[in-house]
Every structure is written in C-alpha cells, then in structure tokens.
Amino acid sequence: MHSPGLLKLYMDPGKCIPGLRDSETQQQALLTAFIVMMPTILLSGFIFPVHNMPVPVQYASTLIPLRWYLEILRGVIMKGTGIEAITTPVLFLTLLAIAFITLATARFRKTLS
C-alpha cells in the first residue's frame, strides 16, 4: 500500500511543473493549478463513477493519475483485494509517473540553459 502512495507523491510535482513553469506571478500559478485540478477531480471517478461517463471521456480519464490511485485505494481499503487485483492500476500509475517526471525534467532543463 505504501509504494503506490509514494509513487503518487513522486509523480504529482512532475505533473505540475510543466504547466506552472511558464507562470510569471503567483496568481497565474494558482489559476493554472485550479484549471488543471478541477477536471482531474471530476474525471477521476472520485465524484462520478468512470463507467457512467461517455466512452471518449473514459478513455481520456486513463491519462489522469488520480483515477488509478483511487482504484488502488478502493481495492485495498474498501474491498481488501490483494496485489494481483491492483497490478493494472499500479502499472498505469507507474507509466504516468515516468512520463510526467520525464516531461517535467525536460522542460525544467530548458529553463536552466
């Protein structure tokens, strides 16, 4: 249970850095974060079940890390499932973490040079 949580904590800054890097003021950064976080929460399955969403939106929600983290939490805490039931969400969360951190590192290096 701890490793998916640490993976999510490792990935969240990587998700935010590319969008916030171009902000010149704190207000721009806060508005950018709000614009990113609202659809993330709405499409993650936290408020509305993913299977009740239209099919294109379901496919788009696969790119939202919170969706996979919530599936892991629901599986472990509410259902008491084992590791074999949460391998797909952990795999997707790992791939998204690698992608977001790689993107953040590449964009951050461009600002340093």
Per-block mean pLDDT, blocks of 10 residues, the chain (113 long): 66 64 80 84 89 93 88 85 85 87 76 58
- The pLDDT value recorded for residue 76 is 85
Domain assignments of the chain as residue spans, ordered by start: 2-112
Report the predicted TM-score, pTM, of the whole model to 2 decimal places. Answer: 0.75
Burial class (CB in 10 A: 0-12, 13-18, 19+), 89: buried
- The pLDDT value recorded for residue 53 is 92
- The pLDDT value recorded for residue 18 is 61
